[in-house]
Chain A
């Protein structure tokens, strides 16, 4: 296991083009988010609300799920429960078969990635059609999303143009984004018109009204849930919220944190299938509620905060590790900081525990998380658990580490010792550079300043406070 993550990370670091694509995109998203929250006070108030709403929902999860089920059923939405991925896939496939579906038009859904739905459908002879532009690109490339909001963020327009060229050789080749987008529209129109089954995720499920709320920009989500005869929505059990009015702060937190938009182009609130007097809309709506490890996470009062997540992606946009190794470097469905806490819990520490190490604990994720998930704290918790589970023998350098830290503490305990050592370091920087050993094999050694901050401050005439 250990070597797998490292191996993938090393590979990812070697892909310069991918790294440049991701860097550019993340920088853009960071700027857009910052511009979308010009008022710090408002942002902090919203984050408090977001956290409180999600905490309330999790504290009352079973009763809210029952209320959701009742209200959905009252309006004709059929609710299904799935303990794990296989059960969810069985339910979905059963619905598709009952309607003789040969293809499914899909809106974007990370839960469908989590359960490996596309593979399952293909094996069953049902064609999964990804309609979100980013997801379509990923499907054509036979890859997995590298970001939960922007799945094809690691690809540039040339790669995408080549991909479209290979799959649609009859269409004229172009690297223009307008043209590529128009091409996707043309290809998908027929499928939207003719496909009987649609599938989507859910952003928020409102217990009070039995409403499924979906946000998107392209219109493919609305088409996938409105044009076919049957709509299947699949979501994790944690997505429920108590009240309709709770949507207001959550929506604004989600879209501003994710892409810096004040709101997405479409907010789609579905509370039932077509009524007898209505002229369109699906005749059946199904909601599949997936557990898949979530109830176990829910059982731990500290780790439960993981389930507050509203999947905005801000933590990955701001993560120095994600920016360097990209989503594929993690090798999991959910990458980035949220993936590093969620995946080890979903799949178990034995399989994905090393992900908890893939962080510098810089705290950027927690500083931007709209529902205040203390990601570094949870990473630490998972690390501790892993260390406890691991036999000592697997950490050969542990005793040296002990000595180094004790020395560090001794030096820092006295100003005189600290000044002495700092001065010594400045004069012997050339030595240190060579002898940092394995640490500098993968890093550039930081230059040690000739003069310490203390000295500079003293010269500038700054006093002690």
Chain B
């Protein structure tokens, strides 16, 4: 196998002249006020069928209401996540049942795939240009929380909205600290594979609820 490697690299080396400078990007900039950026983010998300709610610190109650209305019986969340304490503290008695994702997936798989109605995560940032939510799943908030349950709920702090992906990557020095998995999520799961007609909720969440605090 190692000779495949050597051979390929040797062949490429014979023709790779180098000499092409690494492109300096001059990405497009937007001078949105924080207000405008938030509006843009919301509008872009809504355009792809996400549900956006501007919330105050009673957001757990708002979320519980929305979920009850959607018929969700439970909400799976990372019990150690950054917003989890506030979620549990503000959760109404009669809200959907809260279930912690606190064991390895091998033990959670059955519950997550068969019973979970909704999953809750926090969010590292929002990107106004494209209407995207940036998630860096952590041990406290595993990757599948935002993927397997039919409803994904996200809490985004309003001071975390950036204009573009490029600005975010550069400002936060992503290259030095990429996590095992980084995600941009822009709306609920969808497909246009049949007659170019959009249908929502293919394999990922059917609904995406975004709470901007």
Residues of A participating in the B interface, judged by any CB pair closer than 8 Å:
21, 24-25, 28-29, 42, 49, 52-53, 55-56, 58-63, 65-66, 75, 80-83, 87, 91, 131-134, 137, 150-153, 155-157, 160, 177-178, 180-182, 184-185, 188-189, 192-193, 208-209, 211, 217-220, 222-223, 226-227, 237, 242-249, 251-252, 259, 262-275, 277-281, 289, 291, 295-296, 298-301, 304
Of all chain A residues, which has the CB nearest B110?
A193
CB pair B19 A271 closer than 8 Å: no
Q: A181-B199, A249-B25 are in contact. Are A243 and B175 (CB under 8 A)?
A: yes
CB pair B20 A265 closer than 8 Å: no
Q: A49-B25, A243-B175, A273-B180 are in contact. Are A279 and B108 (CB under 8 A)?
A: yes
Within the assembled complex, what's the spacing in Å between the Cα atoms of A77 and B114? 31
Nearest 4 interchain pairs by C-beta:
A219-B204, A134-B193, A280-B105, A248-B166
Say yes or no: is B88 at the interface (Cβ < 8 Å to chain A): no
Shortest distance from the beta carbon of B163 to any chain A beta carbon, whole Å: 12
CB pair B179 A271 closer than 8 Å: yes
Residues of B participating in the A interface, judged by any CB pair closer than 8 Å:
1-2, 4-5, 7-9, 11-23, 25, 27-28, 44, 48, 101-105, 108-109, 113-114, 129-132, 137-139, 142-144, 147-148, 164-166, 169-170, 174-175, 178-197, 199, 201-205
CB pair B184 A263 closer than 8 Å: yes
Q: Which residues of B contact A150 (CB under 8 A)?
A: 192-193, 196
CB pair A81 B8 closer than 8 Å: yes
Q: Which residues of B contact A243 (CB under 8 A)?
A: 22, 175
Looking at B114, B132, B192, B199, the one whose CB has the most chain A CB atoms below 10 A away is: B192
Main secondary structure, interface of B, reads: loop
Q: Which residues of A contact B164 (CB under 8 A)?
A: 248
CB pair B186 A264 closer than 8 Å: yes
Within the assembled complex, what's the spacing in Å between the Cα atoms of A223 and B146? 11
Of all chain B residues, which has the CB nearest A136?
B193
Q: Which residues of B contact A278 (CB under 8 A)?
A: 137-139, 142, 180
CB pair A56 B20 closer than 8 Å: yes
Shortest distance from the beta carbon of A409 to any chain B beta carbon, whole Å: 39
B12's contact among A28, A184, A272, A295, by CB below 8 Å, is which? A295
Of all chain B residues, which has the CB nearest A209?
B178
CB pair A280 B17 closer than 8 Å: no
Shortest distance from the beta carbon of A166 to any chain B beta carbon, whole Å: 16
Within the assembled complex, what's the spacing in Å between the Cα atoms of A185 and B179? 29
Q: List 27 A-B contacts (CB under 8 A).
A: A25-B196, A53-B23, A59-B19, A60-B16, A65-B9, A75-B180, A155-B194, A177-B197, A178-B199, A182-B201, A211-B182, A217-B192, A222-B204, A227-B148, A244-B178, A245-B166, A249-B25, A249-B166, A262-B186, A269-B183, A271-B178, A273-B180, A275-B180, A279-B105, A281-B181, A298-B15, A299-B15
CB pair B169 A244 closer than 8 Å: yes
CB pair A266 B185 closer than 8 Å: yes
Q: Which residues of B contact A295 (CB under 8 A)?
A: 8, 11-12, 15
Of all chain A residues, which has the CB nearest B12?
A62
Q: Which residues of A contact B205 (CB under 8 A)?
A: 219
Within the assembled complex, what's the spacing in Å between the Cα atoms of A229 and B113? 16
Looking at B27, B108, B193, B204, the one whose CB has the most chain A CB atoms below 10 A away is: B193
Within the assembled complex, what's the spacing in Å between the Cα atoms of A333 and B185? 30
CB pair A157 B8 closer than 8 Å: no
Q: Which residues of A contact B129 (CB under 8 A)?
A: 262
Of all chain B residues, which has the CB nearest A255?
B130
CB pair B130 A263 closer than 8 Å: yes
Within the assembled complex, what's the spacing in Å between the Cα atoms of A49 and B21? 12
Q: A81-B1, A279-B142 are in contact. Are A246 and B23 (CB under 8 A)?
A: yes
13 more CB-based (< 8 A) A-B contacts, given A218-B202, A226-B181: A29-B196, A60-B16, A61-B12, A62-B13, A151-B193, A209-B178, A264-B186, A265-B189, A266-B185, A266-B204, A269-B182, A270-B181, A274-B180
CB pair A280 B16 closer than 8 Å: no
Within the assembled complex, what's the spacing in Å between the Cα atoms of A259 and B23? 26
CB pair A156 B16 closer than 8 Å: no
Within the assembled complex, what's the spacing in Å between the Cα atoms of A131 and B191? 12
Q: Which residues of B contact A291 (CB under 8 A)?
A: 4, 8, 11
Within the assembled complex, what's the spacing in Å between the Cα atoms of A252 and B108? 36
Shortest distance from the beta carbon of A203 to any chain B beta carbon, whole Å: 13
Q: Which residues of A contact B19 (CB under 8 A)?
A: 59
